[in-house]
């Protein structure tokens, strides 16, 4: 590939932003053009940590977007800014890498999709980072290969107390976090939608939420989300961003010819087990444990799993490389605003369903959703 140099602007550079910036800087085809954070001290400190000049800092988004040689931005600010900042960057003609959630306002989410429809040459990506996890990739392929037959039920949990220490206290505030689904539970929904994509699409959502919060979240932190697929299969997501011990990313995929369980709270060799009429003679095998799996079915020892709270192990390099490769190839990502819209729609539908106390169809009726969410 004849790679051209890509000028990068960062929007936010805290915990996740610094991890991503380091991965961008590791690429020979990227040069940093600027960093926007409202707080000079924090912005300059982040630049120092990644070995860049403090002169890259700017205190205005408009100034960043007006810089010469800026091709792409990476948005890693608090959730409530993602929608407006991505739309400003799109209007300025930039490619956009956006941390999840894509937006906390429904109207901004619609505008992102509409922009992409009319400007397909601008590459966009929502960082549903578990898309790049090697266990999740394997699971998608196993389902596509029919190892479990037709999947009839799939459960994916996200229960993990999100970090609100120090400056991350913004995650408690309704106007900055948006909602608990977009904040984190969306990871489980993205895994569910991508795992099922070879067999079915979500068509209806029923959700309930609980406002009980130990740490002072201004939005309900506990969610039960039930997803119906267009072939009759069902999905369940148990979410909690407030409390728990460890990271519960439990998966149970149940099909007509097999099943897989991923238990993130178990010790590593026991975390994954599956059976398949097609592949294991209908016996349970543990593909991370050489003592309980035939050599031919063992997975590589470096197989990543989705239960690490450490973003460095959350495939940040793969996410950044994917975005840059999409730009270099001029090819839209499966995680673009439009291509990943169904994942966000399941989240919006869950918010509506919990308020209305009834199931909500997806894709949403945009007029109905707009009137529900306002704007």
Ligand X SMILES: NC(=O)c1ccc[n+]([C@@H]2O[C@H](COP(=O)([O-])OP(=O)(O)OC[C@H]3O[C@@H](n4cnc5c(N)ncnc54)[C@H](O)[C@@H]3O)[C@@H](O)[C@H]2O)c1
Task: Pick the binder of ligand X from 71, 127, 133, 136 (CB under 6 A).
Answer: 127
The residue from 27, 31, 42, 201 that contacts ligand X (CB under 6 A) is: 42
Rounded least distance, CB 17 to ligand X, Å: 5
Q: Is 76 in the site for ligand X (CB under 6 A)?
A: yes
C-alpha 51, offset from chain centre = 28
Cross-strand bridge partners of residue 74:
10, 97
Would you count residue 12 as binding ligand X (CB under 6 A)?
A: yes
Name the residue whose CB lies closest to ligand X.
Answer: 14
Q: Are 219 and 177 within 8 A, CB to CB?
A: yes
26 versus 40: smaller Cβ distance to ligand X = 40
Candidates 24-32, 33-41, 118-126, 195-203 — which segment interacts with ligand X by CB under 6 A?
A: 33-41
Strands 234-240 and 158-159: what pairing?
A: parallel
Applying CB under 6 A, among 311, 317, 318, 338 the residue interacting with ligand X is: 311
Q: Does 64 help bind ligand X (rule: CB under 6 A)? A: no
Q: Which of 232, 165, 235 is nearest to 195 (CA)?
A: 235
Among 21, 30, 34, 36, binds ligand X (CB under 6 A): 36
Q: How far is the CB of 367 from ligand X (least distance, A)?
A: 28
Number of amino acids touching ligand X (CB under 6 A) = 27
CB of 217 to ligand X, least distance (A): 14
CB of 166 to ligand X, least distance (A): 8
- The residue to which tokens 């309980």 are assigned: 292
Exposed, middle or buried: residue 357 (CB in 10 Å: 0-12, 13-18, 19+)?
exposed
State the Cα–Cα distance between residues 268 and 106, nearest whole angstrom: 39
One residue of 56, 57, 81, 229 binding ligand X per CB under 6 A: 81
Stretch that binds ligand X, among 9-17, 106-114, 343-351, 360-368 (CB under 6 A): 9-17
Residue from 5, 26, 38, 48 touching ligand X (CB under 6 A): that is 38
Q: What number of CA atoms fall less than 13 Å from residue 259's CA on the CB side?
A: 10
**∠ Cα 321 31 46 (to 5°):** 90
Please answer whether residues 37 and 43 qualify as being in contact, where contact means their C-beta atoms are separated by less than 8 angstroms. yes
Site string for ligand X, 166-195 (x = CB under 6 A): -xx--------------x------------
Smallest separation, CB 302 to ligand X (Å): 20
State how far the Cα of 68 lies from the Cα of 70, in Å rounded to an integer: 6
Distance of CA 88 to the CA centre of its chain: 21
CA atoms in the 13 A half-sphere facing the CB of 273 = 11
Tell me what percent of the chain is helix, strand and coil, each rounded to the nearest 5: 40, 20, 40
Distances (CA, A) of 358 to 43, 180, 226, 352: 45, 19, 11, 9
Q: How far is the CB of 110 from ligand X (least distance, A)?
A: 20
Task: Give the separation between CA 98 and CA 101, rounded to whole angstroms.
Answer: 8
Kindly state whether residue 14 participates in binding ligand X, applying the rule CB under 6 A. yes
16 scored as a contact of ligand X (CB under 6 A): yes
The only residue of 9, 34, 78, 161 in contact with ligand X, by rule CB under 6 A: 78
Which residue shows structure tokens 């003679």?
281
**Rule CB under 6 A: which of 44-63 touch ligand X?**
46
Stretch that binds ligand X, among 37-45, 252-260, 268-276, 323-331 (CB under 6 A): 37-45
CA separation for the pair 286, 59 (Å, rounded):
52
Does 160 sit near ligand X (CB under 6 A)?
A: no
By CB under 6 A, the residues from 97 to 126 that bind ligand X are 99-100
Q: Note the Cα 347 to chain centre separation in Å.
A: 12
Question: Is 39 a residue that touches ligand X (CB under 6 A)?
Answer: yes
Residues that bind ligand X (CB under 6 A): 11-17, 36-39, 42, 46, 76-79, 81, 99-100, 127, 129, 167-168, 183, 311, 314
């Amino acid at each position: 590939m004849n790679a051209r140099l890509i000028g990068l602007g960062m929007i936010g550079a805290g915990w996740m932003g610094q991890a991503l910036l380091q991965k961008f800087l590791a690429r020979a085809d990227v040069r940093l053009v600027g960093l926007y954070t409202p707080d000079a001290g924090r912005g300059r400190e982040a630049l120092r940590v990644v070995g860049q000049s403090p002169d890259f800092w700017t205190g205005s988004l408009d100034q960043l977007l007006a810089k010469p040689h800026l091709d792409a931005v990476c948005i890693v600010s608090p959730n409530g800014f993602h929608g407006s900042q991505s739309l400003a960057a799109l209007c300025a003609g930039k490619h956009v890498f956006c941390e999840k959630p894509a937006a906390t306002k429904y109207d901004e989410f619609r505008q992102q999709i509409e922009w992409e429809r009319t400007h397909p040459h601008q590459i966009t990506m929502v960082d549903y980072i578990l898309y790049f996890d090697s266990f999740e990739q394997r699971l998608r392929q196993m389902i596509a290969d029919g190892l479990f037959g037709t999947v009839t039920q799939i459960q994916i949990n996200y229960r993990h107390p999100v970090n609100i220490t120090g400056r991350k206290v913004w995650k408690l505030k309704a106007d900055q976090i948006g909602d608990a689904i977009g904040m984190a539970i969306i990871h489980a929904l993205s895994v569910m939608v991508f795992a099922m994509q070879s067999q079915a699409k979500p068509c209806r959502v029923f959700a309930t939420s609980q406002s009980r919060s130990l740490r002072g979240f201004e939005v309900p932190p506990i969610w039960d989300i039930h997803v119906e697929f267009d072939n009759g299969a069902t999905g369940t997501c148990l979410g909690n961003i407030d409390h728990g011990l460890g990271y519960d990313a439990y998966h149970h995929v149940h099909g007509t010819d097999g099943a897989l369980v991923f238990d993130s709270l178990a010790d590593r060799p026991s975390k994954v087990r599956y059976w398949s009429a097609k592949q294991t003679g209908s016996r349970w095998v543990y593909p991370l444990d050489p003592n309980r799996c035939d050599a031919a079915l063992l997975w590589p020892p470096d197989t990543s799993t989705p239960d690490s709270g450490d973003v460095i192990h959350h495939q940040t390099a793969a996410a950044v490389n994917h975005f840059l490769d999409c730009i270099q190839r001029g090819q839209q990502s499966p995680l673009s605003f439009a291509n990943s819209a169904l994942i966000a729609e399941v989240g919006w539908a869950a918010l509506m369903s919990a308020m209305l106390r009834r199931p909500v169809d997806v894709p949403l009726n945009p007029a109905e959703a707009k009137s529900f969410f306002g704007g």
